[in-house]
Structure 1
C-alpha cells in the first residue's frame, strides 16, 4: 500500500513537471512567433499592397551589397517633412496652437494685450480676426511666444505644453497625434542603416523639444525654420537668448538649402505631404542613382481629415500633378494605412 502511494506521488510530480514544461514551451513558442512576425513584417500598420511593397523593395535593393542599386551606409539619407507627414496638421499647425495657448499663459504679464490686436483676438477666442490679420498678425504671435527667453526656457515651455495640451478633435495630447505607420517606417529605415532627418517649415526649437521621444530623431537631425540667437553671460553662466528676428525659413525652396547646409548630401529617400515639400522632393528625385519620393495624401475623412488641392493648410496641388513625372509614390491614407494613430483600437 505504501509502495502504491509512493508511485502515485511520483506520477503526480511528473505530470506537474510535464505540464509546466509544456506551458513554458508554449510561451516561448508564442514569443518566437511574435518576434518572427515583426521581423517578417516591419510595417504592420500598413495594408498589403503596392505602396508597402514599393518601400520594402527600395530598401531591400539599396542595402544589397551585391546589387546594382546598392547605396553605401554613409549615403543612406532619408528626409521627412513633419506637419502632415509625421503627425497631423489640422485644424491648424500644432505650433500655432502652442503659440495661441502661450499667449494666454503670458497674458498676465502683458496687460496691454487686452486691447491690442491680434492678442486681444486670441484672448477672446476670435479666430476670424486672427486669420484676417494675415501673415503679419501670425508673425507677431509667433515672435511674442518664441523670443525673449533662453533656449532652455523655451524648450521647457514646449515640453510642458506637449504633455498637457489637448487636440480639439481627438481629445488626445498632441504628441499622441503622430502617425503610427510613419513611425514604423522611420524605425524600418534606421534598422537598415538609413539616417532619418526632419526637414520642416516648422520651428526648429519647437520640434527639437519632443521629436526624439516621438520619432527617435535626435535634435541634431532636425532641420527647420529658425530665429536669431544672442549669446549672453548671466551670473557667470553662458546663455543663448532667442530674439525676434527670422534667421532662416525652411520651407519650399528653402528646404533643399537647409538640407545642403545641415546634411551636406542629397537625400536618397524623401517624404512630404504638401507643395511646401515639392522642392525638397524634386531635389531628391533628380539626383543620380536610386531615389525614392513619397507623398502622404490625406484621404481619410473619418479617421483623420481629407484635404489636398484647396486646403489652406497642407495644400497639395502641384505635387499631385507632377507625381508621375518624378515617379513619386502617392500613399492613400484611407487605403494604405490599417491604423493612423497608436491609440486606435
Structure 2
C-alpha cells in the first residue's frame, strides 16, 4: 500500500473502529432495553450485580445461579384461555370425524358447538376427559410432531398472530441477561411438559431438559417391533401450586436463586425460592394493560392473582406492572 495512503487511512480506520466500539458499548449498556427505568428494572440489575460479584457478600457460584419462570402469563399470553387448552380444543375438532359419538357426548359436544358455559359446567373432570382424548393414545414422538405442526400455524383469536409471536419481549431480554451472567434458566409451568418441550428452545432459548411441567403416564412398549414410549390418559404429576417446588426438586435438584410468576399458582415456587439463604429475587408479572394486552388479577377465569398480590410486600416480591414497567410487550 502507498505510504501516503496508509498514513491517511490508519487514523481514519482507527476513528471508525472507535466509533464502532462506542456504538456497540452504548447498545450493550442497557441489558433490558424494553424495560422502563424504575424500581423493578433497578432491582433486577442490582440483584444480578450482587450475586455475580466475585468476593462480594452475596456472591453465588455459577452452578447455583438458577432462575425459574412460569410460562403461561409470565412468558406469553394466557388469555382468553391457556394456549394448551386451545390446542386441545383444536384437536377435538380435528378428531371429531373419527368420533361421531362426540356430537352428543359432553364435554366434547360443548367444544364442537363452542358452548363455553356447558364446558365450564363439566369442570376439571371434563377438561381431563378432553386432555385424555387429545393428548394420549399415541407415542411421544407422534405427540411431539402434532404439537410442532400446530404451534407453527395456530393463531391467537384477539391478536391474529402466532402464539409464539406473543411472547413478552421484556422477559426474553431478562432471560438473555441472566444467561449472560451465568444463570441457567428453567421453565416451571402447570402446562404439559411434552407440550412445551418441542418449541421452548427456539422461542425462549430454553432447551427441553430445562423444562419442568405437568405430565401424564408414559409407558414403554414395543409397537410393531419398534420400541416406543406411549402416552396414556392417566395423570402422573401436576406441576402447579404446591407441585412446583416438588417439580423443581425432582427435575433440577437445587433451590432457585430467582423465580418469576404471574398468578397464585406460582405462590409456592416464589415462596420456596425466596425463603432460601442469601440474596434472592421473586417477581410477579401483573397484567394491568388492557390496551396492549389484557387487564386482570383477582377476578378472572385464567391466571388469578389474589393471595400472591396481597402477600408480595411482606414476602419481598416485586410486582411488575406491564403498563408502567414495560416499554413494549411483544417482539416487533
The answer to whether the superposition gives a TM-score over 0.5 is yes
Q: Any residues of structure 2 matched to 1:289-304 within 5 Å, and which? A: 289-304=278-293
1:232 maps to which of 192, 200, 221: 221
With 251-260 and 233-242 compared, the bigger mean Cα shift is at: 233-242
Structure 2 match to 1:97: 86
Q: Any residues of structure 2 matched to 1:201-280 within 5 Å, and which? A: 201-280=190-269
CA distance in 2, matches of 1:105, 1:52: 44
| Structure of larger gyration radius | 1
CA distance in 2, matches of 1:269, 1:201: 18
CA distance in 1, matches of 2:10, 2:123: 70
Structure 2 match to 1:332: 321
1:169: Cα distance to partner? 0.5
Q: Give me the CA root mean square deviation.
A: 2.2
With 120-129 and 156-165 compared, the bigger mean Cα shift is at: 120-129
CA distance in 1, matches of 2:322, 2:28: 24
Tell me, which stretches of 5 or more residues in structure 2 are unaligned? Answer: none
2:107 maps to which of 118, 131, 138: 118
Question: 1:228-282: CA deviations, max 9, x gaps?
Answer: 0111112432110100000001000010111111111111000010000000100
Structure 2 match to 1:69: 58
2:121 maps to which of 132, 157, 160: 132
Are 2:188 and 1:199 equivalent residues in the alignment?
yes
Question: 1:200-251: CA deviations, max 9, x gaps?
Answer: 1110000111111110001111000000011111243211010000000100
With 285-294 and 228-237 compared, the bigger mean Cα shift is at: 228-237
1:31: Cα distance to partner? 4.8
CA distance in 2, matches of 1:120, 1:25: 71
Question: 1:183-207: CA deviations, max 9, x gaps?
Answer: 1100110110001011111100001
Question: 1:120-170: CA deviations, max 9, x gaps?
Answer: 121122222112211111111111111001111111111111111110100
1:170 maps to which of 140, 149, 159: 159
TM-score (norm 1): 0.91
Q: Any residues of structure 2 matched to 1:75-86 within 5 Å, and which? A: 75-86=64-75
CA distance in 2, matches of 1:17, 1:157: 61
Question: 1:11-58: CA deviations, max 9, x gaps?
Answer: xxxxx9999999988976665444223321111110111111110110
Are 2:60 and 1:37 equivalent residues in the alignment?
no
Tell me, which stretches of 5 or more residues in structure 1 are unaligned? Answer: 1-15
CA 1:340–1:21: 2 relative to 1, 3 Å: farther
1:312: Cα distance to partner? 1.7
CA 1:67–1:117: 2 relative to 1, 3 Å: same
CA distance in 1, matches of 2:121, 2:163: 26
Structure 1 match to 2:311: 322
Q: What is the total number of aligned residue pairs between the two structures?
A: 331
Kept in 2, the 8 Å contact 1:38–1:44? The answer is no
Question: 1:319-342: CA deviations, max 9, x gaps?
Answer: 111111111011111000001001
TM-score (norm 2): 0.94
Question: 1:73-119: CA deviations, max 9, x gaps?
Answer: 11101111000001110001110000001111111211211221111
Q: Any residues of structure 2 matched to 1:6-21 within 5 Å, and which? A: none
